[in-house]
Chain A
Amino acid sequence: LLGPTYGTGSILENTTLEVLDFNLLPSSLNLEDKYGIYSNLLFKYFLAEGIVCGHNLFVASAKEDPADILKELPAPLSDDALKNQVDEKETAIKSKQESQESMKIAWRYQNLPRIEVNIPAASARFGHYYDVSKVVSPELLQSTKWHRFFLPEEMSLHPEIKTCNMTCGYTRLLQSIQRIIYQEGFDGSYPQKKQKNILRIGIQSLGSVLWGDDICCAHNPEDIYSLTKFLYVLRGLLRMSLSACIITMPAHLIQNKAIMERVTNLSDTVVGLESFIGSERETNPLYKDYQGLIHVHKIPQLNSLICDVSGTKDLAFRLKRKLFTIEVRETLRDFNV
């Protein structure tokens, strides 16, 4: 099943990844880390990328006002600032490599080519860079067309709705998304009206109690099919329009593994975040440079019935002052003989 915006979306496999390419994935599921800190960050990256690319946004949440979410999006990094970041990194890499010239073990690593860090020209660049220590400027926000869905607000504005046998919150959200897609012409209606644009949809903490679903509280939830029905219908909406969607989900709270398997099958891409906060890994020297691990459960593969699994299984993330990076974890290098 290929959506209209599908391209060769893949997670870049360099030694240091600075761009998690969300641009071309119709539906991307982000399994939240325990406290939701890092998944929220990736959620914001996805939306920030939409602003920089001039896409329209649709932000849905049951716990946070979408306007507040948007105000906290990371600011894009200017080309000069980016060059400084890259120069800093290059110096760090050079000095690290010099001190490891006389490695006694793992001769393979000694023969690895020097990492070339270049900034491609803006036109050739895929994705953008962001400074997490700064928020997006109000001017840039104002120039963005966006739509909001805040569940508490929706419940009070429209108390009576026709249900379709799904948790009430999900039904309302689907109706809202469908209405925007239709009214704004993302489904191809009004072709002469305006330039084609992409709708970036962000749904926060789907499955949590705040959406009215008890899938996170019970092993045998009351309406076990609500979430999967929602995802199926959403998938249909995305396939029929020029849109892409990121969903964060507190998977660690969902006890029913069968449901998680079905949720994975209904998504194009599934990425899990495991933060080290509060775990024994926080103080483990093997992980000292990182704040958590990234588990790629599923990425789509063109023309195949089975999904692809990333070539790199050992991905970790680190959040420094300005940049959030994803790297291949160099376990053997850190191993103390």
Chain B
Amino acid sequence: MRLYQNSLTAAKERGQLVFLEGLKSCFDVLFGEEQHVGQTNPLQFVSENGSNLKTMYEFVRTSLIASGSDSWKCPVLLVDDLSILLSLGVRPVDVLDFIHYCRVAVCSQLKGNIVVLVHSSDDSEDEENELVVNSLCHQSNLILWAEGLATGFCKDVHGQLKIIQKGSSELKAERNLLQIYQYKIQDKNVTFFARGMSAAVL
């Protein structure tokens, strides 16, 4: 994070990065002064006890179109983290609708990509969350699945990353490509290696 901090600030200044800080926006909705007419907070739904993510979608769309000059190609929408919306009272179907609208705008119209972070676990009892996660997995071309090791904590191997790449055409019944790496997080870097090939072992 530290490594990229300066470049992110610069990107924000030249309009390359639009950052919606949910925690801050939510704070503004609840404790801020009255909004001016025409200015709607993307997290307005929190105070209205609603489940309507329309304003959030509008924010995404206008942000991307505003910077739609030819110099910036292939926009990327990063969502961190979608599971939180469920904690704020948004229904799963509305979360999925939001992503659907974003896909149309970002992927189809603007030829960009969407990256979404969700939390999940094998023994989760959060049915709503699992519904959202399964649906997203189904729609996604690429799944990056980070988890701790099944054998427990290890100081040389912090976790495992599964990369699942969907076959490009379902008609041709191409198989999904699965790769598994293990990783160790260092101060400013992450090292990836094949399973069992951690530097500590070799």
**Structural contact, A306 and B148, CB atoms closer than 8 A:** yes
B117 nearest CB neighbor, chain A only: A305
What separation, in Å, do the CA atoms of A44 and B24 have in the docked complex?
Answer: 30
Report if A306-B47 is in contact (Cβ < 8 Å); known contacts: A225-B88, A301-B158: no
Kindly state whether residue B174 has any CB partner on chain A within 8 Å: no
**Structural contact, B185 and A303, CB atoms closer than 8 A:** yes
**Structural contact, A305 and B146, CB atoms closer than 8 A:** yes
**Hey, which bits of chain B sit against chain A, CB under 8 A?**
1, 23-24, 26-27, 30-31, 46-49, 83-84, 86-89, 117, 119, 121, 124-129, 146-148, 152-153, 155, 158-159, 185, 190
In the assembled complex, 29 residue pairs joining A and B whose CB atoms fall closer than 8 Å, in A order, are A164-B47, A165-B89, A175-B31, A232-B23, A233-B26, A236-B23, A236-B24, A240-B23, A240-B27, A257-B125, A257-B126, A258-B124, A258-B125, A258-B127, A261-B124, A261-B125, A262-B87, A262-B126, A262-B129, A265-B119, A301-B185, A303-B185, A304-B146, A304-B158, A306-B146, A306-B148, A309-B153, A311-B155, A313-B153
**Hey, which bits of chain A sit against chain B, CB under 8 A?**
1-2, 164-165, 174-175, 178, 225, 228-229, 231-233, 235-237, 239-240, 257-258, 261-262, 265-266, 301-306, 308-311, 313
What separation, in Å, do the CA atoms of A309 and B185 have in the docked complex?
Answer: 14
**Structural contact, A235 and B46, CB atoms closer than 8 A:** no
Please indicate the chain A residues that have their CB under 8 angstroms from the CB of B49 in the complex.
Answer: 165
Please indicate the chain A residues that have their CB under 8 angstroms from the CB of B129 in the complex.
Answer: 258, 261-262
Distance (whole angstroms) from the CB of A237 to the closest CB of chain B: 7
A311 nearest CB neighbor, chain B only: B153
Distance (whole angstroms) from the CB of A251 to the closest CB of chain B: 14
Please indicate the chain A residues that have their CB under 8 angstroms from the CB of B47 in the complex.
Answer: 164-165
Residue from B31, B87, B119, B126 in contact with A232 in the complex, judged by beta carbons closer than 8 Å: B87
Residue from A239, A302, A304 in contact with B23 in the complex, judged by beta carbons closer than 8 Å: A239
Residue from B27, B117, B126, B148 in contact with A258 in the complex, judged by beta carbons closer than 8 Å: B126
